[in-house]
């Protein structure tokens, strides 16, 4: 059956609080990130992602103390992103207890950062996050939490990131983010066919079927979601049971 598919709650953190928006705007509060992380760990989530969503934009460093608190409370792998611009940032977060780091804007601005992280800490530590929007049948990458458009195309950049040593691609469709109408399965399938590293689907989960489609149609290795988990719409154990019953290999 191959490797088990992973279910990954994502916690967007702003000023120490978990928040959730739609299409990257209109944020609302969803609770304490450490307590939420603990609850997800107990509920059977496979991994967690914590993103300091304003760090790149405001030039701040990710909150190291939160990472330390999370590491003390949970026993599943977790990834931290936001405001990571150099190896010293990566070192600080790994030392605080993170298992992986997610880089997005910084990687596009300085692609060598991927090589540096992979060479220093191993590919498994480097998650290359890509925020992209479909415009006129082309997927374009965006910087600074979806604020600034680039002329870089999703599939080209994902392939380059892999070749430079990224261990995983976390692809968020800005068109689908927070809309709850399903993941960008066609784009996910193209990524899965083009790359040999795991693809994490992000943006669009609204019901259990959407997760199934991301795995069955999008060929994703993991599916990430936020609001459906934070606001109790889809309990993680229930989702895994559903996927298992439909023939998707998940850890129960």
Residues designated as active site: 12, 131
Query: Both tokens of residue 131?
Result: 């925020």
Distance CA 95, CA 143 (A): 27
CB 92 within 8 A of CB 70: no
CB 3 within 8 A of CB 250: no
| DSSP secondary structure of 50-87 | EEETTHHHHTPPP-HHHHHHHHHH--S-EEEESS--SH
Name residues whose C-beta falls within 8 Å of residue 110's C-beta, 6 or more positions apart in sequence. Answer: 85
CB 171 within 8 A of CB 132: yes
Q: Report how far apart, in Å, the C-alpha atoms of 185 and of each of 1, 175, 213 are.
A: 21, 12, 7
Between vectors from CA 250 to CA 245 and to CA 252, what angle results, nearest 5°?
85
């Amino acid at each position: 059956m191959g490797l088990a598919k992973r279910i990954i709650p994502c916690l967007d953190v702003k000023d120490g609080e978990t928040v959730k928006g739609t299409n990257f705007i209109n944020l609302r509060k969803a609770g304490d990130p450490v307590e939420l992380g603990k609850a997800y760990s107990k509920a059977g989530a496979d991994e967690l992602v914590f993103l300091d969503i304003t760090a790149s934009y405001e030039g701040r460093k990710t909150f190291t103390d939160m990472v330390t608190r999370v590491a003390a409370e949970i026993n599943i792998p977790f990834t931290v992103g936001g405001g990571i611009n150099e190896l010293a940032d990566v070192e600080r977060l790994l030392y605080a207890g993170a298992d992986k780091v997610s880089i997005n804007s910084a990687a596009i601005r300085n692609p060598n950062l991927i090589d540096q992280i992979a060479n220093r800490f191993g590919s498994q530590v480097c998650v290359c996050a890509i925020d992209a929007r479909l415009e006129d049948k082309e997927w374009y990458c965006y910087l600074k939490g979806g604020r600034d458009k680039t002329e870089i195309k999703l599939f080209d950049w994902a392939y380059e990131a892999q070749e430079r040593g990224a261990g995983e691609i976390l692809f968020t469709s800005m068109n689908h983010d927070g809309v709850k109408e399903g993941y960008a399965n066609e784009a996910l399938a193209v990524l899965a066919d083009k790359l040999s590293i795991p693809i994490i689907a992000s943006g669009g989960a609204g019901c259990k079927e959407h997760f199934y489609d991301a795995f069955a149609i999008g060929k994703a290795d993991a599916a990430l979601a936020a609001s459906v988990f934070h606001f109790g719409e889809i309990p993680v154990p229930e989702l895994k049971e559903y996927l298992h019953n439909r023939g998707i290999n998940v850890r129960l």
